[in-house]
Chain A
Amino acid sequence: MKIKKYIKYLIWTGIIFLILSNILHVDKPEMPETIKTQALSQNAEVKYPGDFKTIEINGREYIQARGEVGKYGGTLNNSTIGEGPKTFNPWNAKDATSSQMSELMFDGLVTTDAYTGQVIPLLAKSVEVDKTGTIYTVKLRKGLKWSDGKPINAEDVVFTWNKIIAGGFGNTSARDNTLIDGKMPEVKALDKLTVQFITPKPFAPFLRQLTQSIAPKHILEPVANKGKTAFDSFWGVTTEPDKFVTSGKFKLQRYIPAQRVEFIRNTDYYAIDKKGQKLPYLDKYIFYIVGDINNQVLKFESKQIDTLALSGSNVARFKELEKHSDYKIYNLGPDTSTMFLSFNLNKRKNTDGKYYVDPAKQRWFNDKNFRKAVNLAIDRENAVLNILRGVGSPLYTAESLSSVFLNENLKNGEPGNIDKAKNLLKQSGFTWNNKGKLLDNKGNIVEFNIITNAGNTEREALGVMIKEDLEKLGIKINFKPIEFNVLVGKLSDSLEWEAVIIGLTGSPLEPHSGRNVWSSTGALHLFNQRKKHDLQNATDLSEWEKELDEIFEKGALAIEFKERKKYYDRYQEIVWEYNPFIYIYSNLTIVAVRNNFGNITPTTLGGVLHNLEEIYVKE
């Protein structure tokens, strides 16, 4: 009797287990974790589709898109990680999400071509720079309108530059990036549709500053007159969507905190397709706000979002599943992030008269051969394979691999070479004891700390790997991941650190954006950070630091790309030779997009949605 009962229980448990395992069908265990870079061959077929054309219809100058003719309707569901936008005021946006969303609604005079990286006109019909490189003449398109029907004209441009940007309203980084010798360019309207910018000196990075969104003067002038606080809170996240007066291809329809931001098509946008139909095609463009990357992946798998940036082991898994799925995976090449190891080259004392760095360690770190030896000991290929699961490429240059200013000669660097590294150390008087430990010329055992931010599993793994690599040189590393905030405190304030693994994001288009890092007075001159009082009459600049200072000054003054490239090639050479930062790798940008969209032509510089107005939903 009892046995029968137990058998019954067993059968029931079995049935329940079967049902559950069917529902929760787990991926095959042989799913690869790493991926060979060949399997992700870059989309070679990205062909430049030619320049944008300007077409005049009924007194309006439209921009003509370059893709195939699509059809109207449909929604594209995107997502954003984090808390969602903080404001929809593009001039006050201080974080990437807010900027991305508000810039959908407000166009700039120019934009960046997603294929070539060149500056191309947007609200402007043309931008001309005179021979002196100081006078920029911008002609606006005819017939441009704000969403309330008022014309967009030169007054709006002058207001945006002279009042909002020069006046320091909202986010001041636009002003900080345009100040030339402490002066803002002079901006004036020549006629209704022509604006002239005069910079005090030739300043190449200025052209890209013209991407700044243009503001509707008739709405924002009264707000700006009330002061900065009023301006900062204007067009915030609680504003009714119909209060926005916009110029971009999409307009805010609804913002639901912690859930999603819905944008609706601007039916009167100034772009048309090849048949002369008004763009954009999509009715709606939605951002779901997700807390973390795992939730984003789940949302993509359950088909609630249409595009997903992939990283790490997810790439191999999604690539494997791609054949039986409704999405395609695009490899957009290396992204703009850079991961590097840096030594503290600081030889100064703090206000208490104590050295920031122990004098013995100062000697090692400031030894060019020592840094080069460390560079040669690091196995970058191994790091890419094991830490990034193959989704990255080794990096040797200070400019990211996607940069238009990349120094092609240094791109492939020099493969790791332990023997050469040991020779360099010998040249500098380092020796090894009988246990294989590295000693300096005074007999000190070479041992130091590397810090990074705890919680970033990638950097933690990299730290362990570097520790193992440097053991081959007999160097002992104490690897200490610490809290991000504490790390920043050490790097920017207390300056008491020895070596750090960290990453910075650069601009692939404008090396001048790195001046805060490279110029000796920069606020992020990490490897030899000088405090305010150190800067007053800094005499301890090394020759190559001086040269970098000079390059970053001259590189901005040169106007011709070729001439600028020479300067920035040289800066990458210096960094390669002197190793203030030892670059390790860049991640690859891998994106999955559902197949039912047309005109998807992802590029390295523009990503998947650079031609959002042309993207349409297929049958």
Chain B
Amino acid sequence: MSIPIYILKRILQAIPLLVIISIISFAAIKFSPVDPLAELKMNPAISPETLQAEKERLGLDLPIHSQYVRWAGNFIKGDLGISTSGEKVAGRLMERIPNTLLLTTVVILITWLVAIPLGIYAALNWKSRIDRILTIVSSMGMAVPSFFFALLLLIFAVKTGWFPIGGLTSAGFESFNPVRKVLDIAHHLVLPVVVLTTISLAGLQRQMRANLLDVLESDYVKMARAKGLPENAVIYKHAVRNAVNPLVTLLGFEFAALLNGAALTEFVLQYPGLGRLILEAVIKSDINLVMASLMISAMMLIIGNLIADILLKLVDPRVSLG
């Protein structure tokens, strides 16, 4: 099957999937006992008329299925609705998307650029001292929960005063020159990037090492060596190329994670990203906002998988699409 037709087919398959996802998530939120008006109800200054007006504005007086139909109709038209506080959901998401994209791209870039070479190095120097140290460090990285690591770094930042607590820019950012702007953002990014890379780096490095070790044991590598190819050609042309295959699939998932953010880390470190927004929205049962983010996540996952499959085809001609 040629690639464009394959893409079309996958997109068509995705539509019923998205409908099902949206129904399940909508129902799950609606059946949770969270009332977006609870706080207003406990406020002595709010009159019953105001409460009723709020109810109507948010459509809470309608039965659940008509609420869903109303939401779905708007969603198809590209209108994500308004949040409980009355702002456009699309606007709120757009405020945060660039921040989250910045963080996740930096994290993914650093992770991949560091993890792959480290994995290769560890595999080639199997059981050497450096391999052992890397094993210990990466086991620690995988074992430490992200929020806990973030907390440790926060204490570090407070005690030393070397890094700012939370945010992405300093006050007066707009009047900085471009170089200082970049440095300022980089300064704010250090803590969240360190937390998130440490955690994903460990896994990726281990995976690369294990894959390469497997491949290095295989017959065709032995064959290549026996043939008398230079060691570099054996490793980079034959072994690494085969070992990287499973990681391409992982890359697809990474793409899906681009906009998911890392809610816990963002929350602990007060990073102004999407994850924190969604977490707050879930707590407040801000249905339009939660639905929009869930749908975006679902679509990103589907697209990520599609990209991974196509990349796999390009990297490995043995794979057939269908």
Contacts and interface: CB of A to CB of B under 8 A. Distances in A.
Contact of A484 (B38, B44, B86, B87): B38
A485 B33 contact: yes
Contacts of B87: 86-87, 236-238
A304 B164 CA distance: 8
B53 A172 contact: yes
25 contacts: A23-B156, A83-B277, A86-B85, A95-B85, A173-B46, A176-B49, A177-B45, A236-B87, A237-B87, A238-B91, A257-B96, A258-B95, A259-B169, A260-B171, A290-B166, A291-B270, A295-B165, A304-B165, A483-B34, A485-B285, A488-B38, A505-B44, A514-B44, A524-B42, A524-B44
B44 A506 contact: yes
A238 B93 CA distance: 13
B177 interface: no
B48 A523 contact: yes
The 6 closest A-B pairs by CB, nearest first: A258-B272, A86-B85, A176-B47, A257-B95, A488-B38, A485-B35
Interface of B: 33-35, 38, 40-42, 44-51, 53, 85-87, 91-92, 95-96, 99, 154-161, 164-169, 171, 174, 267, 270, 272-273, 276-277, 280, 285
Contacts of B33: 483, 485-486, 489
A interface: dominant SS: mixed
Contact of A259 (B38, B85, B159, B168): B168
A514 B46 CA distance: 11
Contacts of A505: 44
Contact of A488 (B41, B50, B158): B41
Contacts of B155: 24
Nearest to B83: A86
B165 A298 contact: yes
Contacts of A523: 46-48, 51
A232 B87 CA distance: 9
Interface string A151-186: 000000000000000000001110011000000000
Nearest to A517: B44
Give the bracket for the number of chain A residues in contact with chain B.
35 or more
For B45, B49, B168, the residue with the greatest tally of chain A CB atoms inside 10 Å of its CB is: B45
B159 A516 contact: no
A242 interface: no
A173 B157 contact: no
B86 A232 contact: yes
Given A173-B50, A258-B277, A298-B154, 8 more contacts: A256-B272, A291-B267, A291-B270, A299-B166, A488-B42, A492-B41, A516-B44, A523-B51
A237 B157 CA distance: 31
Interface in A441-487: 483-486
Contacts, number: 127
A565 to B, nearest CB: 21
A25 interface: yes
A233 B88 CA distance: 9
Contact of A302 (B35, B46, B158): B158
B44 A259 contact: no
A75 B38 contact: no
B156 A24 contact: yes
A550 interface: no
A517 to B, nearest CB: 6
Interface string A232-270: 110011100000000000000010111110100000000
A254 B170 CA distance: 12
Contacts of B86: 86-87, 92, 232-233
A212 to B, nearest CB: 13
Contacts of B276: 258, 291
A504 interface: yes
B171 A302 contact: no
